[in-house]
Amino acid sequence: MMGDHTHIFWDCPKLPEFRQNIKERNKEMPQPKLSLEPSYFILGIFPQSIEDNNKILLLRVLLLIAKKMVTVFWLRPQLPTMKHWKQRVRAGRYGLKKLCL
């Protein structure tokens, strides 16, 4: 069983649907529309064309929550879902609202 950082967050063949759902959700949000690149999802490195630091911070937090869901479910037979991700985002919504202001 592979377990390195890249495999867990990018190469694992069980997770593309979860990442795709995160990407689709990103299209609905009022921030720059980004393709889901490994540099964004794994490292949190975004294009310099995004000049709004609050938007970058929001994206980093949302992707960090997605990565948290992956680690929480890593050794379980169940995969993380958008429902899990949304629940975690809502749990931290007060802090996210402050970031968006």
Q: Write the DSSP string, 33-73.
A: -----HHHHTT----TT---HHHHHHHHHHHHHHHHHHHHH
Q: Token pair for residue 96?
A: 């996210």
Domain carrying residue 22:
5-100
Average pLDDT of the residues in 74-99: 80
pLDDT at residue 14 is higher than 70: yes
Q: Please classify residue 81 by burial: count the beta carbons closer than 10 Å to its beta carbon, then call 0-12 exposed, 13-18 middle and 19+ buried.
A: middle
Reported as type and span, the H/E element at residue 17 is helix 16-27
Domain count, the chain: 1
Query: Is-contact 66 85, C-beta < 8 A?
Result: yes
Q: Please classify residue 96 by burial: count the beta carbons closer than 10 Å to its beta carbon, then call 0-12 exposed, 13-18 middle and 19+ buried.
A: middle
- How confident is the model over 25-75, as pLDDT tens digits? 776 666 566 667 777 777 777 777 777 777 778 888 888 899 899 999 988
The CA distance from 60 to 81, in Å, is 19
